[in-house]
Amino acid sequence: MNEEYFLEQDRDHEFLEGNRGLSHDQRAELGLGALVFVVVGLLVAMLAFVLHEAWPSFAHNGLRWFGGGGSVDQQIQAIFNSGEYKTAPVYTFHAWPLIWSTILITLGAVAIAFVTSLFVAVFIVEFAPAWLRRILEPVVRLLASVPSVIYGLAGVLVIVPLIGNHLITQSEKASVTPTIQLSGASLLAAVLILTVMIAPIMIAVFADGLQAVPRGWLEGSLALGINEWRTFWKVAVRTARPVLVAGTVLATARALGEAIMVGMVSGGVGFAPNPIDGLVFFFEPSQPLAAAIIRNTEGLSSPPMKHTLYAIAAVLLFSSAMLSVIGWAAKQPMRRYAVVS
């Protein structure tokens, strides 16, 4: 520690200058506290604003906002027109196809990514040869910071044509022609790209958590005659469960809010994919909530449209807040046997 720090500038020494009104510390505390207050206030104001703007759409539709019925695309068009052309405002909106699409794509990607990332993280931390680990760690971090639009680009240029031209047969395309077009921009493409995007994030978080497990526990388990796999699985992975939860919540929040990339590859049609369709189910286009907002922002000048878009935003906000709460709740029972900190 440099001694200069302690020598100079009388104004840092309170007792030398006597009490002139508020002390330095009190001024600083007030100033910084005001800053925090302003920022928090801004965030709260934003939340309130979103809810306030969303209210008309919810009020007009009630719970049927979340239900199905009618074509979402047509409804959006009607809403926009009513505001644009100053006729009686139309708010009818049944967002179920969008919600269903969001659920399918997000949960599908998170499920695949979770299993994959857990095993890859275990591999990287414990079983990979040292030279491979040294390469993989920066690569994982690099992949985790790739902008999502670039993944979207790869998706549109590689995955979508691959699915459209090689995986979907002509007969499948014909089977749904009147309703929708199967072009490769589909549920499958969206889930794949989203998985590729969130997996590195999860791997990075999981690997950090696994590495933080004290080696003494692992050595103790090995010394009891338990093999390496079982030792790592039963001791390290079990200990790192809170980290697994945290990483999953983080990745799910990212997946939920991913509008640009998913919008590029999911098809942009307000259609609810139907599992009954069999294999074609995976190739059906759809539009998740976040992408719906992006696609329709030109219509913001039309008031009913604005309210509808804010309603969708409110649903997204609420979902990510709920995720945090679920994550917190999931971690509570794990604290009982954990390290006394």
Of 296-325, which residues contact another protein (CB under 8 A)?
A: 297, 300, 306, 309-310, 313, 316-317, 320-321, 323-324
Contact 79, 93 (CB under 8 A): yes
The reply on whether position 39 binds another protein by CB under 8 A is: yes
Does the protein bind another protein through residue 235 (CB under 8 A)? yes
- The residues that bridge with 267 in the sheet, in sequence order, are 286
Minimum separation from the CB atom of position 81 to another protein (A):
20
Residue 49 near another protein by CB under 8 A: yes
Counting contacts by CB under 8 A, is residue 116 touching another protein?
A: yes
User: Which residues between 249 and 278 bind another protein (CB under 8 A)?
Assistant: 249-250, 253, 256-260, 263-264
Query: Considering the rule CB under 8 A, would residue 140 count as an interface residue with another protein?
Result: yes
Alpha-carbon separation of residue 55 from 83, 103, 301 (angstroms): 17, 23, 17
Alpha carbon of 101 to those of 8, 108, 265, 312, 313: distances in Å? 64, 10, 13, 13, 15
**226: Cβ–Cβ under 8 A, 6 or more apart, which residues?**
234
In the chain, the amino acid numbered 65 is W
H or E element in which residue 305 lies: helix 303-331
Considering the complex, what minimum distance in angstroms separates the CB of residue 97 from another protein? 18
Instruction: Tell me whether residue 224 or residue 276 sits nearer to another protein (CB atom).
Output: 224
Number of Cβ atoms within 10 Å of the Cβ of 32: 10
Q: Out of 74, 165, 169, 227, which residue is the one contacting another protein (CB under 8 A)?
A: 227
Which of these segments, 63-71, 84-92, 176-184, 292-300, binds another protein (CB under 8 A)?
292-300
Give the C-alpha separation, 43 to 290, whole Å.
20
Under the binding rule (CB under 8 A), the answer on residue 101 touching another protein is no
Figure out which of the listed residues 18, 62, 178, 216 binds another protein, where binding follows CB under 8 A: 216
